[in-house]
Amino acid sequence: MPSYIELKNISQSFQVNDSTITLFDKLNLSIYQGESYAITGPSGAGKSSLLMLASGLEQPTTGQGQYVKNDQIKSLDDLRTDIGFIFQQFHLLPELTALHNVALPLKLRGDKLAIVKAENWLAKVGLNHRKNHKPSELSGGEQQRVAIARALVFEPKFIFADEPTGNLDQKSANEVASILINCCHENNAGLVMVTHSEKLASRAQQIFSLADGKLTQPNNSNPKVMLCS
Ligand X SMILES: Nc1ncnc2c1ncn2[C@@H]1O[C@H](COP(=O)(O)OP(=O)(O)OP(=O)(O)O)[C@@H](O)[C@H]1O
Please report, as ranges, the residues that interact with ligand X according to CB under 6 A: 14, 16, 21, 23, 41, 43-49, 88
Residue among 99 and 151 whose Cβ is closer to Mg ion? 151
40 binds Mg ion (CB under 5 A): no
Number of H helices and E strands in the chain, helices first, is: 6, 10
Query: Are residues 190 and 202 in contact, defined by beta-carbon separation less than 8 angstroms?
Result: no
Is residue 179 within 8 Å of 148, Cβ to Cβ?
yes
Rounded Cα–Cα distance for residues 16 and 53 (Å)? 19
Q: How far is the CB of 56 from Mg ion (least distance, A)?
A: 18
Alpha-carbon distance of 229 to 216, in angstroms, equals 10
As measured in angstroms, the least distance from the Cβ of 146 to ligand X is 20
Minimum separation from the CB atom of position 44 to ligand X (A) = 4
Cβ atoms of 206 and 217 within 8 Å: the answer is: yes
Residue 114 or 161: which CB sits closer to Mg ion?
A: 161
Closest residue by Cα to residue 51 from 180, 201, 162, 205? 162
43 binds, among Mg ion, ligand X, none (CB under 5 to 8 A by kind): ligand X
Tell me if 167 contacts Mg ion by CB under 5 A. Answer: no
Question: Both ends of the chain: CA-CA distance in Å?
Answer: 26
Rounded Cα gap, residues 166 and 203, in angstroms: 15
Of 48 and 217, CB closest to Mg ion: 48
| From the list ligand X, Mg ion, none, partner contacted by residue 106 (C-beta under 5 to 8 A by kind) | none
Interface positions, 175-194, toward Mg ion (CB under 5 A): none
Single out the residue of 33, 40, 48, 144 in contact with Mg ion (rule: CB under 5 A): 48
Between 34 and 166, name the residue whose CB sits nearer to ligand X.
Answer: 166
Q: Cβ closer to ligand X: 83 or 99? A: 83
* Among ligand X, Mg ion, none, residue 46 binds (CB under 5-8 Å by kind): ligand X
Measuring CA to CA, how many Å separate 101 from each of 18, 133, 139?
Answer: 41, 10, 15
Interface residue list for Mg ion (CB under 5 A): 48
